[in-house]
Structure 1
């Protein structure tokens, strides 16, 4: 006697699971231009590396003789796989079964995925398309009672693990369709989140919002443009394949968990490369803007900069990069937006990404051109100063090595917020650097009002005072007093950053940080 009948039933049930919501629902998914959850997992992971857990779970119907007639699979698919040869956990919503609603799922499956990532110290990728949470309104009737959000015992632990893993392993969220309720919370609760251009994310969808008198399409309510500008989502992807590629690239800079160190790759770029273009990258006219991204590309390893959050807090550019093969977090001012001044959104962006660096032991490089905090009524309405001091506190809470290159402006309190205040960091100033407690423009008129008003030619007196103060403001005067440590030829920036990364290498220490990163 053998176990062939049971083996045949295992194969039959496995085939039922792979049919997902049925051929008609799969066709509808494809007709909408979207992949199924299993196709997504295949596209994300290394070929043939997926090891599924819980494939047979679902709701079965049985014949009178007790034999299985059909099984509607749970609409959560999860397991282990590999990305670039490294193990990861992946968990995905199956939209072909009740639109990803939780009342067609088994809560233990996504929870086990989170536990698996935490306990085996593996990155987790959440592929999200659906509502999650307590399911649809129909759940009240099918369950015979109304769900109390949060629940007790195991049912509430999912809410805890959703954010707890941020302190332990890399968490990636991919929004690949309509994402609402708890699904939106799971997507936003990640270190790196991506939405495809045709996706939408919202706390509640258009039908509920219509009750407020707002008639909106999904895209108008929570499309990728809206959510990336709001900072709820980091990046937008043109296609699902693009989203998978961004997820893989993000993970390539990070360790599998906080208990490891980010991988250092063999150098592929000349550490002493000196680009002549840097000598004319910053205009002499301080009112003229210039492009920061070419400077970034020049000083990091060629092709290594991976930008995140480009549509949010746009006066700061943030991303991961490599210098001489060593991974780092890079921040850089963007003078094309508010002249590089920090808004409340910019401050939140700075906090988010330096917390990411601290969590995963990445040194920080800041290419600075900041004329101060944003000023005006809108700045006060958005509590810019409170967000600003939070950013300053976050900087001083970091323990990772930090290097700042002052490209041009450094003014006011935000000008001071370019390094930790409680420990050594390296600082270099370009020949174009210019700093002070506040810009001369506007400040002279206030400080020297009596002299200007008493002059025969007030305009000429203003220019005379300005010339006198600008001469004193030379960065070389600051260097005499050791108020700036080093002024460098811009072409030597990469060489200095390579040196910094090698100094930083032995200081990187694996383990949990003193605080947990929050979404």
Structure 2
């Protein structure tokens, strides 16, 4: 006597699960230019590494004799896999089954996936395509009552944000709980033209009578107009947009390669083959002499960090600050850099929000921070005041002062006002180097000179000549060497020494972090 009959039923149920929503709906998914959930899982993780959990969960149908006639699989798949050889929890919504809505056992499956990540300290990747919530209005009639909203799994989502790296890939139209699951992540990606995110979709918004479509002629155009990647990668809801699902998977794998598997575990060093003592001649002339001239901070990053390792995140929002992961002598670091080509590098509200989030992420996963500084201060003017810039700016500064990971700052040019002082925590040892192009103070000289010397200028026989004479005097006082003379800055360096010195910092930082 064996259990062959039961194993036969198990194989049958597994085969039904693999059919997902059925051939027609799978074909419709592919016809929209989208991969199905099982293909996505295979494409994301290391080949052959996915072990599915709860494969046969779903809603069975039976004949009058109690014999199985069919199964509607749960529209949520998850399991243990590896990415870059390291264990992860990989999950995928199945849009071919009720648009990924929460029925057929999805609720507990989703909760178990989040618990697995938290309790076993495994990174989790969510591939989100659909609502992933409480179904549709029709569901209420099936239940026979409405209910007070409660997301019972959300406590696990919150725990994961404090415990393990969380990656969310938006791979289709996503609303409600699905949208919330994307936002509740450390790194998120949308596929341009394929994915949209809304608190509620176009039909619900239309029912409220809001005029918003902006000339959209079709349903697809309406979805893009309401919640496409052009919107959400510029307002900070989502970090990055890509051109294809394959690119989204690649970026997820790349992000995780810099991260530890959980908060408290040291991230890994890799051999990049880039000499720590490399000195780049181009750095010597990178910063122009004209204070209003711009230069490429991204070029500086490529010259300073290990070649080919700079991985920028959030390029399209909070654009006065560049945030990236990179390596120095193989050690992973988180990079915060001013972008003088946008708002002159001034921190506006969105930039400040971005800085705060980035510094908190570095502190959570214990990655050293390298701050490349060219900051003329907070954005000023009525629009900046209306946006509450100072509040967001102070929150960014608070994050820097609360951070406990090692931080090194390189002052490449400007550092003015409160925003400039947020280059590092002045109450701790400041691991800081300044370039000869350094220009700093409580406010830019050009902005306060004519006010401070108003009476002298007005009393002069030649006001224009007096103004130039005052500028010449102040130019000597504002020399960075005067600051170094008083040990107001630690060291002024040859820009070509920046990489060797930062590689030294990375080694010392990881010596400490590895001992925690």
What TM-score, normalized by structure 2, do the two folds share? 0.97
Q: Where do residues 225-236 of structure 1 align in structure 2 (5 Å cutoff)? A: 225-236=230-241
Contact persistence 1:103–1:139 (CA under 8 A): no
- Structure 2 vs 1, CA of residues 255 and 44 (structure 1 numbering), >3 Å: closer, same or farther? same
Shift of 1:221: 0.8
Choose the corresponding residue for 2:204, options 194, 205, 208. 208
Deviation, structure 1 residue 231: 0.2
Contact 2:57 2:105 in 1 (8 A): no
- Which residue number in structure 1 is paired with residue 218 of structure 2? none
Which residue number corresponds to residue 118 of structure 1?
Answer: 118
Q: Deviation digits for residues 74-129 of structure 1, max 9, x if unmatched?
A: 10101100101111001111000000111355210010000000111000001101
Cα deviation per residue 1:142-161 (whole Å; 9 max; x = unaligned)? Answer: 111113111xxxxx431111
Corresponding position of 2:217: none
Partner Cα separation in structure 1 for residue 68 and residue 426 of structure 2: 67
Aligned residues: 506
- 4+ aligned runs moved over 2 Å, structure 1: 103-106, 211-216
For the residues of structure 2 that align with 1:421 and 1:398, how far apart are their CA atoms? 12
Query: Could you tell me how far apart the structure 2 residues matched to 1:164 and 1:422 are?
Result: 31
Gaps of 5+ in 1: 151-155, 512-519
* Aligned with residue 360 of structure 1, among 351, 359, 365: 365
1:426 paired with 2:431, answer: yes
Q: Secondary structure at the match of 1:230?
A: coil
Contact 1:206/1:215 (8 A) holds in 2: no
State the 1:141 CA deviation.
0.6
Matches within 5 A, 1:453-492: 453-492=458-497
What is the Cα deviation at residue 286 of structure 1? 0.9
Shift of 1:215: 4.3
Q: Cα offset for 1:64?
A: 2.0
2:173 counterpart SS class: strand
What does residue 333 of structure 2 align with?
328
Give the match's secondary structure for 1:81: strand
1:86-485 equivalent positions in 2, closer than 5 A: 86-150=86-150, 156-198=151-193, 199-210=195-206, 211-216=208-213, 217-485=222-490
Identify which range, 58-67 or 70-79, moves more after superposition: 58-67
For 1:278 and 1:107, the matched residues in 2 are separated by: 55
* Contact in 2 for aligned 1:49/1:81 (Cα 8 Å): yes
CA deviation vs aligned residue, 1:370-406 (integer Å, no higher than 9, x gap): 0000000011111111111111111111110000000
- The equivalent of 1:504 in structure 2 is 509
Distance in 1 of aligned mates of 2:178 and 2:47:
27
Secondary structure at the residue paired with 1:103?
Answer: coil
Distance of 1:282 and 1:37 partners within structure 2: 49
Deviation at 1:228, TM superposition (A): 0.5
Alignment CA distance shift 1:510-1:106 (3 Å)? farther
| Residue ranges of structure 2 left out of the alignment (5+ in a row) | 214-221
Shift of 1:423: 1.4
Aligned equivalents of 1:221 and 1:90: distance in 2?
29
**How far apart are the structure 2 equivalents of 1:62 and 1:422?**
70
Judge conservation of contact 2:57–2:104 (CA < 8 Å) in 1: no
Cα offset, 1:259, TM superposition: 2.8
Query: Match of 1:102, SS?
Result: coil
Decide whether the 8 Å contact of 2:74 with 2:103 is kept in 1. no
- Pairwise CA distance, 1:65: 2.1
- Correspondence for 2:219: none
- Partner SS, residue 311 of structure 1: coil
**1:516 equivalent in structure 2:** none
Matched residue SS, 2:284: helix
SS in 1 for 2:296: coil
**Shift of residue 69, structure 1, vs aligned partner:** 0.5
Q: 1:105 to 1:457 in 2, by over 3 A?
A: farther
> TM (normalized to structure 1)?
0.96
